[in-house]
Amino acid sequence: MNTPIQASLTHLLAPHGVMRVAINLGNPVLARLDASGEPSGISADLSRRLAKQLGLSIEWRVFKKADESVQCVRSDAADIGFFAIDPVRGEGLHFSPPYVQIEGAYMVRNDSPLQNNDEVDQAGHRVTAGAGSAYDLFLTRHLKHATIVRAPSSPAVVDMFMAEQLDVAAGVKQQLQADAMRLPGLRLLPGRFMVIHQAMGIPATRSAQAREHLNAFVEEAKRSGWVAEAFVRHQIQGAAVAPPGYPAHD
């Protein structure tokens, strides 16, 4: 049974009496569907952990694109979502501190003259990224000379890169590494071009108490080792538990 404090928090975080959770399947490192069609991965596990603490059941809102998930929470059609922290997305949302850091990388063909990340931003280069993804938002701010070609979603990036003979594909490092193993003649450029700080998010209209509880929930999940254990459980490689607090802006 919830205590009065828990009942108050439950109403503040999920005023409809059920936790409506937006899950984006665009980043398979964090979320996917299991064999039964149920959301799986660290994002789904965090949702279940918070719902259990508040004594709530979950209604899933599943999307293939990050910006669809953002709009769902921003419009208060969901109570919780999972997003890369980005200033463009900040309007209408409250981000928790990040729970995981993921690297963004570039991929090219083996015969590409490009050898380093700082060679990408040149006139005539066409870089593909998933429309509305964290990579798209970041590259839109930072690329001054190259042209961004937006794929319909993050999972469609490599297919568009191949089909349209583009110069560079941008995305989650782990996913690009898997694609490079699956498809011949591809390689990743060394290092990373950005770090994605993945956080939980709630509508900005939620109260200060709700925001504080969400922040504390995420920090406890990191501090207790729960996030690190989730990495092992879901065989997540190439990502890191985020440090305490909020990241600096890019």
Residue 249 forms part of a structural domain: no
Last residue of one domain, picked from the residues 177, 194, 211 = 194
Q: How far apart are CA 70 and CA 32, in angstroms?
A: 17
What is the structure's pLDDT at 1? 44
H-state helical runs in 115-172? 134-142, 157-163
Distance set, CA 111 to CA 76, 126, 184 (Å): 47, 16, 12
Inter-residue contact 23 to 61 (CB < 8 Å): yes
In the chain, the number of structural domains is: 2
Q: Are residues 207 and 84 in the same domain?
A: yes
Contacts of 67 (CB under 8 A, 6+ apart): 131, 132, 133
Q: Are residues 86 and 156 in the same domain?
A: no
Q: Are residues 37 and 48 in the same domain?
A: yes
Inter-residue contact 235 to 107 (CB < 8 Å): no
Residue 220 forms part of a structural domain: yes
Residue 153 forms part of a structural domain: yes
What is the structure's pLDDT at 90? 82
| Residue 148, domain CATH | 3.40.190.10
What is the structure's pLDDT at 238? 77
Distance set, CA 112 to CA 35, 108, 178 (Å): 38, 6, 19
Q: Which domain holds residue 126?
A: 102-194
Q: How far apart are CA 136 and CA 147, in angstroms?
A: 11
Per-residue confidence in pLDDT tens, the chain, 250 aa: 455 557 788 999 999 999 999 999 988 889 999 999 999 999 999 999 999 999 999 999 999 888 899 999 999 999 999 999 988 888 899 999 999 999 999 999 999 999 999 999 999 999 999 998 899 999 999 999 999 999 998 889 999 999 999 999 999 998 899 899 989 999 999 999 999 999 999 999 999 999 999 999 999 999 999 999 999 999 887 789 999 999 865 5
H-state helical runs in 65-132? 66-74
What is the structure's pLDDT at 5? 55
